[in-house]
Amino acid sequence: MKKLHHSNLIFFIRSGVFILISLLSINIKAQERCAVPQLLEERENRKPELSTEKFEKWIEDKKNLQSPFSQRTQAVTVEIPVVFHIIHNGEPVGTGGNLLKSRIDRQLEILNEDFNRLNSDSSETLDDFKSIAASFEIEFVYARQDPDGQETNGIVRIPGSQSTYSYQERTILSAESYWPAEDYLNIWVADLAGGSLGWAEFPVSNLAGLDEASNNRLIDGVSLDYVYFGENPDSPTFESKGRTATHEMGHFFGLRHIWGDGGCSVDDFCDDTPEASSSSTGCNLSKTTCGSLDMVQNFMDYTNDECMNVFTLDQKTRVRTVVENSPRRLSLTESRGLENPPVFNRDLGLTELNSRFTGSCSGNFNPQTTIKNQGMLPIGEYSVQMFIDGILEETIEFNDTLQSGQEKTVYFSLLNFEETGQYSIFYRVNLTNGFEDERMENNQKLEYYQKLAEGTLPYEKKFQNNIAPWFIRNIDEEETWTLYDNAIGIPFYENRQNFGQKEEIISPIFDFTTIEVPELSFVFAQAEDSIPNRVSIYASYDCGRTFNDLVFSNSITDLSTAYEVDSIFSPEFRLDWDTVKIDLNRLKDEESVCFNIVAENRLSNNFYISEFNVKESDKKNKEIEIIRWEDINPLFCDEGFEGILTIKNVGRENISNYKIQVLNNNELTKEYIINDEVLVSGQETQVEIIIPQPEQNIGEYEIRVITNNTEEEVINTFYLPFQNNCFEELPPLRLSLRENDNDNWFEFNPDKDQGWVFSTDNRAVNSNSSNITKESSEDWLISPLLDVSNTNYLGLIFDLSYRKPFRQAEKFEIYLSDDNGKNFNSLIYSKSGDSLATSFGNDVPNQLIWRNEFVDLSPYVFKEKIRLAFKVTHDNGQNIYLKNITFFVGQSPPPPYPNTRKPFVIYPNPAKNDLNLHLNLEIAEEGFFQVLDMTGKVMLEFTEPKILNQFISFNVSQLAEGMYILRLNTKRITATERFMIQK
């Protein structure tokens, strides 16, 4: 059976009654549910040494070195040390995911039963397969000592940072709790998302050059959903009997699904497992595919737990080959985790202290540590010393007897640190009376005390030249917060091997009772990566001793600001930086608050912070903001204004009454008082506004929304310029884009923030979005009124350029009005972000990249008169550039005009019956055409009321063969071109 499979990571996913997911599934539905096949293909593309072909050749070579006798009958039982990481949501033991030890014990028993064919249901194996049923001679045992050499029961209970984990977040899950994968089989038990019951990391070979093939030892292990862990009669879809762990453990040791994750032509590389067309569910013992009985009872299928009961001899050979040769599988059998922790006669050690770092407002500190007699003999005389910044501060001597295994907490004298700063506190325990401690590495502990500075509000810290008065807490003593140019950051990119390490920096202490509505903000930069670094901010109310209040996490707000790079990311441009604002109103009564910024290494690029501010929030208790004017009508023809004003409650409180005023030349024209509805904080609503026709032809309305906020009125203003503009243009028409000449175009800028501007360098208009900071601000560019009553076909063509930054996304839309511009209700073009972009990057380009756009306006020519409105919605990103905005007479975009300065070209030349003119004038005007023979006699003439860039065809079949001249006369130019008639 020759088959092909690509994988280094295996997932086992069941959902509902039907189970269908594989490593390289050919089933489209499965691929939609899980991105594993794409992930594995990407991994193999990046690391060809991880290919299935190489791994399978390695296994085959290793198997050939062993005799069939040793493969099948004489395998020596090996022990594997297991640590169960129970990742729960803070429940007490025995509730939810914080499983009882008895259930964990039973799961370990099930693994040993299934891998050694001691399972009670082994007798139910079909007769067809009993002769190839195998015991692996593998015993899974609880680890006997932890990585520090201390005694352990092999179970670690940790509150997780997330409520659930998907397989895409396996690095996050493994980082919650991890023991070195060379010495311990890590089994993570958590609430798994996305229908996953579990997954396992696939082993690697030790072929030459593959020493680093795994690439991530920090996720090596097995992950299981707690609902399907051990025996659970209440598990959904099928009753869990602990076989999910058996299945995933098979993957951990190199077994593949028995159907090969494909069909009858795809192999699991075990000759004694019959080919199968797909996975099996339920327990159909008579299922037959690929011309043979399927082994639905095999632990590597997807049948119900009660149906599984067998591994085969070839599966055993494969697993034993991996165990005896794959580097991190072999090292498990030789692990110190299998050994009992070392025992000495006299071993006195320090086990606990206050914490690695602690803080205080007063400078008072109660130092303490815990000692334990870890030796076999009782200890009667000993002392504990405390050093402050390397100087002996205090020694406490003891003459009482400390029995084997007994602990004692030692309390030192109260310390008082008067100066702001960081102090090292070193503890050392010593045996006295001439006895020698037989193990010295556990005799000392080091912690740090930080007396934090006091900050005043409002507070602004720019990390330009120093970090002080902030304090770094570098618990792992590796990479940490570092001062860069005008920022602090962490060199994560240079330290990608330190997954999960957390770097902390502590702010000064603030009295929040001195500020009404506090708001925290920080300016940050980080390049995009597959798994962004985790950044959290915690608040402390006890001067930095504990930080338990999470006030910000990027699990909610993505902190990527720039596109991914294959080098160290260093922010250079304005758009490389962004700001997060955090409402801290709930802290306004706290007298002592400091913050801990925690950045966790997720193997991503460097993370930077340039500013940290705490100040009064701009957000008022009661405030309404004007968002936009719907059905905009700044141009009018003998009628009044009417439209819909969209407003939003941007305050903290609900608002039940407010008013809208319309002013013209500072005189009140209209007033709307609203007191019949409650506008909830954050809610938008719409108000219909009707304004009488103004007396003047050109002017500007000021629209105010007024809210009573405590003792003051909060006023937000929106400007509506107007113009009595009924002047009609005939197509074709082009926006000239010359300063002080806008061809009767009209700009509507309701916030008076500059909006559309002329760019001399690019001979284009640009949206000025990079300078407009108001969120979702809009600006409009409105065309003249077009008379299309005599036009059969009409198209809009324009050139557009927009460089899409990573974080921001401008939006560009075109609306059409068929009522003289009174209402723009027809959206005919809309693009934003990636779809709008002609290039990507946070830098301002030296040269714009243009794209030509065409919009067919022919469906609207029956309206007789139309206007267009070009609207940009700003995001303070990059400018949108427009040029060559032209109304073109035609139904399809014109071909590119030849690279010539001539006002027109003619073709075909020679012509026979019809002659085509392609015009390209700078300004639209009336054109007078003549066809003359070579003597100057006028043979044909006609007038076009308006020419610009259209095509004109006319019949020349009545002309005799010969050479002719086409002459064009306008008020501005005279141009001629020769052509030939050939019959």
- Centroid of chain to Cα 172: 14
pLDDT tens sequence across 871-893: 999 999 999 999 988 888 877 77
Average pLDDT of the residues of the chain: 85
Helix axes 52-64, 313-325, angle to 10 degrees: 100
- Centroid of chain to Cα 281: 35
DSSP 896: P
Mean pLDDT of 634-659: 82
What is d(CA 346, CA 376) in angstroms, rounded to the nearest whole number? 7
Half-sphere exposure of 619 (CA within 13 A, CB side): 18
User: pLDDT above 90 covers what percent of the chain?
Assistant: 53
Is the predicted pLDDT of residue 943 greater than 70, yes or no? yes
Helices (runs of H) and strands (runs of E) counted in the chain: 11, 61
pLDDT tens sequence across 325-338: 888 899 999 999 99
Q: How far is CA 196 from CA 13, 158, 225, 796, 869, in A?
A: 4, 21, 7, 52, 50
pLDDT tens sequence across 894-923: 777 788 889 999 988 999 988 888 888 888
Confidence of residue 496 (pLDDT cuts 50, 70, 90): low
Mean pLDDT of 371-391: 94
Confidence of residue 54 (pLDDT cuts 50, 70, 90): low
Q: How, if at all, do strands 785-787 and 728-729 pair?
A: parallel
pLDDT at 736: 62
The more confidently predicted of residues 85 and 1 is 85
The structure tokens 């030890």 sit at 101
Is the predicted pLDDT of residue 201 greater than 50, yes or no? yes
Asked if 474 contacts 549 with a C-beta cutoff of 8 angstroms, the reply is no
Least confident of 147-161, 435-449, 727-741: 727-741
pLDDT at 16: 30
Is the predicted pLDDT of residue 64 greater than 50, yes or no? yes
pLDDT at 33: 22
pLDDT at 211: 36
The set of long-range contacts for 262-268, using a CB threshold of 8 Å and a minimum separation of 24, is 262/3, 262/4, 262/5, 262/22, 262/24, 262/25, 262/26, 263/26, 263/290, 264/289, 264/290, 265/3, 266/3, 266/4, 266/5, 267/1, 267/2, 267/3, 267/4, 267/5, 268/3, 268/5, 268/300
Strand partners for 829:
814
Asked if 965 contacts 909 with a C-beta cutoff of 8 angstroms, the reply is no
pLDDT tens sequence across 814-836: 999 887 767 788 999 999 999 99
Mean pLDDT of 94-110: 96
pLDDT at 355: 79
Mean pLDDT of 256-274: 86
Least confident of 180-189, 456-465, 649-658, 753-762: 753-762
Kindly list the strands in the beta sheet with 951-955, ordered across the sheet, starting from the edge strand earlier in the chain.
904-907, 914-919, 951-955
What is d(CA 110, CA 83) in angstroms, rounded to the nearest whole number? 16
Strand partners for 803:
839
Asked if 300 contacts 315 with a C-beta cutoff of 8 angstroms, the reply is yes
pLDDT at 254: 87
Asked if 445 contacts 353 with a C-beta cutoff of 8 angstroms, the reply is yes
pLDDT at 632: 67
pLDDT tens sequence across 599-631: 988 778 999 999 999 999 888 888 899 888 876
User: pLDDT above 70 covers what percent of the chain?
Assistant: 88
pLDDT at 34: 26
Buried b / exposed e across 140-170, counting CB within 10 Å, b at 16+? Answer: bebbbbbeeeeebebbbbeebbbebbbbebb
The amino acid occupying position 149 is G
What is d(CA 941, CA 953) in angstroms, rounded to the nearest whole number? 13
Work out the number of other CB atoms within 10 angstroms of the CB of residue 944: 17
Please report the DSSP string for 303-369 in residue order: S-GGG--B-BHHHHHHHHHHHHHSHHHHHHHT-GGGSPPP--SS-EEEEEES-SEEEESSSEE--EE
Catalytic residues: 248
Least confident of 503-507, 535-539, 636-640, 672-676: 636-640
pLDDT at 842: 97
**What structural domains and CATH numbers belong to the chain?**
9-338 (3.40.390.10), 348-451 (2.60.40.10), 459-616 (2.60.120.260), 624-724 (2.60.40.10), 728-888 (2.60.120.200), 904-981 (2.60.40.1930)
pLDDT tens sequence across 283-338: 999 999 999 999 999 999 999 999 999 999 999 999 999 998 888 899 999 999 99
Mean pLDDT of 126-130: 96
